[in-house]
Structure 1
């Protein structure tokens, strides 16, 4: 399927141009043929007039001079032939140019004054014939048919030459027309390219709204997109403020509950209840954090963000190296310089942070991050040399609250946050075995 509007329009215009030229070609050939026949008829009529002016009536007989004013009649090899017939159809005179010709033409003498037609000789050659019937010659009564002939082959040669030239010129005109159409379509679609460039700038955050410098036909579209952008921006701000207010409003009650638990812990008989209370408070805090992250890290509608991968790894690696300094983890990087994640900054930090934290926590000493472009998508791999994930447990750990590692605190929501982020950006997450010996989290993101 052709996705380019310019190419689609160009193909349609080219088809119409070819059809038009195909219809025009026979019409032009026909018009030229008619014009050429008219020119031949006029020439033969002029030649007949020369014969009439040269003819004389002496007594009751026709007399013609030995040399005619038109030299073609006097040359044996000439293609211009002249004949004179009486009213009974008997040939009474023929020009010198007809010496080697054997054309059997019988004039009808029906009072038509003149007639333009075609005849063939014994060998099948075709001739144009112009026949003029006269009743007066030199002021005397005389009934004759004055006939001039010319081979059709010359006409055919001219027609073929014209046809060849027509093909060449029409073909050249078609190419020029297609070139002009391509330029005109490019000029006409320039506004669409401008709109596309502005949308690209909006996606990467270089501008916030579409400009007003667009054709009137596109004003409805640009106005609607601007309203959508403004609405999305305002809604996102309201969403963030609401989430901030919610987090702040829950922070104080949780702190109060934590203080009550500390007071109750001073009494030995309350230790078991305090342990349950602390566990539930921690669970509530983590669940609230998870829901806030899940709501705030989803992909925005029209804006396409890019986040450089290397600086993110620098930041996260430095933090995790401090947390797990006893392990001396070696973080390997395998991706081209300038590689970017098609995610917002916060979503990138949260996704990579959770995956790297799991890898640091479970590895023996080696973690590797790999990124590659493939089929219009970005493939990101986070691998470690730890114990790995059994094949029958891989789907379970991607569900919220599911954890295989029960020796470390946590509610098992980190991977679920990663899944939510990836899903919101139309990506995929798979768990595989790593060549390092541990687990490999393979992420595919549309780029």
Structure 2
């Protein structure tokens, strides 16, 4: 999963989003606490205004009505408390709601208009305090501190509830954000999938170049890949043309030498030398063919070819049936009809042709070709019911020029060509005993 660019970007974006949320949480809580304290301060200030408007000075004595306009002051179980202190800090009045409260707050008349602070009662409970110093009727003796209080516990409950809701909503928002990020990345990487599909089509031979229908940021990459494809195609074509020219240039001298050897064969005294000459000419021809096959049957760097095994096997078996018609070889098939192998047609034709020719030549009458795909790799098996290969000789025949069968002409390069083709495609070859009774050539090819 970590090899996926989309997953990496998603993890990075999710990490940044989580870190941002974690940094945002205390800021939002702090902002809510400040806003809530401001609201409490304004509420207590409004309650102070109610007390001030209700206060009367009769002579030198403060007179407060028994029933106040704000009902919370009149209820004993209310959390809104009201106090009035004189200039010396002596409590001269308390509301009905504050009768059972013993708050240790003593104002100091300093001439400030108002004070918003906190205090505690004898039980340790904390209260918000809003203290307004006011000079009633303009006389020094009529200077009072009008105080309203409210428990901090209610504030903390609100903050706690807000925090829980904040966690819930931000958590939900984070999940929605991550989902949107995932969808957004999927939409953004759609162009990457389009490029991948086009590369797959190039590998399968369905198209030759990448299109220009890609985002501007990727055009530099697609142009570079197109230049690489054109360069590779041109180089391969030039290489093949050069090989064809080489084969053609060597074909004529070899034909001349062959003709000369045939003329010389008419003289009895030259027969031994002619046999040596013809043997060497044949050897040169086979070696040239082998080297040309090695050079031309190389896997492409970008284009991945696939060839259906069934039709190609039909072609080979038709030709071999004519060559070995006296044997009446039965060719068994053990693979799905639609199976395709990841090789060029020419490479598969040469590889399978060499192995089938050996199998037909050495078999008693049965040859089997099997193929399957396992764990992403392909396995190709060619078996026969012939004499088989002794275990101590199996490595020997894989070496160029080594042959166990000396009764038929050849230079022992068939299996070497097979090994070269497999090496160029990253494959391998193993020799084993077949349940048909003969040899089993088992090849592995990466998918």
TM-score, length of structure 2 as denominator length: 0.96
Task: Please state whether the residue corresponding to 1:301 is helix, strand or coil.
Answer: coil
Give CA deviations for 1:110-153 in whole Å, capped at 9, x if unaligned.
3333221222223332211111122x114443221111111112
Partner of 2:353: 353
In structure 1, stretches of 5+ residues that fail to align are none
Pair 108,435 (structure 1): closer, same or farther in 2 beyond 3 Å: farther
Distance in 1 of aligned mates of 2:121 and 2:336: 86
Q: Deviations over 1:323-362 (max 9, x none)?
A: 2233332222222342111001111111111111112222
Return the alpha-carbon distance in structure 1 between the equivalents of residues 237 and 218 of structure 2.
29
Question: In the alignment, which residue of structure 2 is the partner of 1:270?
Answer: 270
Give the SS at the match of 2:150. Answer: strand
Alpha-carbon spacing, 1:393–1:112, altered in 2? closer, same or farther (3 Å): farther
Task: Give 1:162's aligned residue.
Answer: 162
Give the match for residue 283 of structure 2: 283
Corresponding residue of 2:373: 373
SS at match of 1:3: coil
Alignment of 1:72-221 (within 5 A): 72-134=72-134, 136-141=135-140, 142-221=142-221
What is the DSSP-based 3-state SS (H/G/I as helix, E as strand, rest coil) of the residue aligned with 2:111?
coil
In the aligned structure 1, how far is the partner of 2:428 from the partner of 2:121? 87
The secondary structure found in structure 1 opposite 2:107 is coil
Match of 1:276, SS? helix
Secondary structure at the aligned position of 2:228 is classed as: helix
2 CA distance for matches of 1:366 and 1:115? 108
Deviation string, structure 1 residues 252-271 (Cα, Å, up to 9, x no partner): 21111111122122222221
Hey, what does 1:384 align to over in structure 2? 384
Q: Give deviations 1:241-300, integer Å, cap 9, x for gaps.
A: 111111122222111111112212222222111111111111111111111111111111
The alpha carbon displacement at 1:42 in A equals 0.9
Q: Secondary structure at 1:29's aligned position in 2?
A: helix
Paired position in structure 2 for 1:40: 40
Moved more, 93-102 or 31-40: 93-102
Question: Are the counterparts in 2 of residues 57 and 140 from structure 1 also a CA contact under 8 Å?
Answer: no
| CA distance in structure 2 between the aligned counterparts of 1:337 and 1:33, rounded to whole angstroms | 75
Match status 1:251 vs 2:254: no
2:330 is matched with which residue? 330
**Is 9-18 or 188-197 further displaced after alignment?**
188-197
Question: Whole-Å Cα distance in 2 between the matches of residues 310 and 421 of structure 1?
Answer: 20
Greater alpha carbon shift after TM alignment, 346-355 vs 179-188: 179-188
CA distance in 1, matches of 2:335, 2:109: 100
Corresponding residue for residue 22 of structure 1: 22
The alignment status of 1:343 with 2:343, answered yes or no, reads: yes
Is residue 2:300 matched to residue 1:300?
yes
- Runs of 4+ in structure 1 deviating by more than 4 angstroms, as ranges, are none
Shift of 1:435: 2.9
1:400 alignment counterpart: 400
Tell me if structure 2 keeps the 8 A contact 1:56–1:138.
no
Looking at structure 2, the residues matched to 380 and 144 of structure 1 have their Cα atoms a distance apart, in angstroms, of 105
Shift of 1:430: 1.8
SS at match of 1:396: helix
Q: SS of the residue aligned with 1:172?
A: helix
Q: Find the aligned partners of 1:59 and 1:259 in 2 and give their Cα distance.
A: 151
Map 1:414-425 → 2, pairs under 5 A: 414-425=414-425
Instruction: Say which is worse superposed, 39-48 or 253-262, in terms of deviation.
Output: 253-262
**Partner Cα distance (1:219, 1:422) in 2:** 36
